[in-house]
Structure 1
Amino acid sequence: MPAIISAVLFFIAFLINAADISTHDAFTSTHVMLLGLTVPALHMAGVGTGWSVRGRRR
């Protein structure tokens, strides 16, 4: 799932860059690309993976 989110963010960054769309300074293609890199980094760090409760085995 994080890979799909990252791919979408990279595609949006590509469109902003390729179409030379002028956006607000806080929403540039570089910032969207960095968000795309942040998503898998957070996933690999364990954020959003959830807690698993292990019961006792008898």
Structure 2
Amino acid sequence: MFALVAALLFVLALVFEIAGLAVGSVVTVATLGTAGLLCVALHLMGVGAGWSVLKK
């Protein structure tokens, strides 16, 4: 799930960069890129995988 969110954030960052857009001073290409990298890191850690192995 986090990989999908990261891909969406990267696409938005690319569109913002090409169009030269920014939503205020908070949502910029850099913040979208950083949020995308955070989602990739969470995905690689296994957060939100949706299943776990229970050992007895």
Alignment TM class, shorter chain as reference: 0.7 to 0.9
Q: CA RMSD in A?
A: 2.1
- The Cα shift of 1:22 comes to 3.5
By relative contact order (CA 8 Å, sep 6+), the higher-ranking structure is 2
Unaligned runs of 5+ in 2: none
TM-score using structure 1 length: 0.71
Structure 1 stretches of 4+ with a deviation exceeding 6 A read: none
Aligned pair count? Answer: 56
Higher helix share: 2
Question: Percent of aligned positions with the same letter in both sequences?
Answer: 36
TM-score using structure 2 length: 0.73
Unaligned runs of 5+ in 1: none
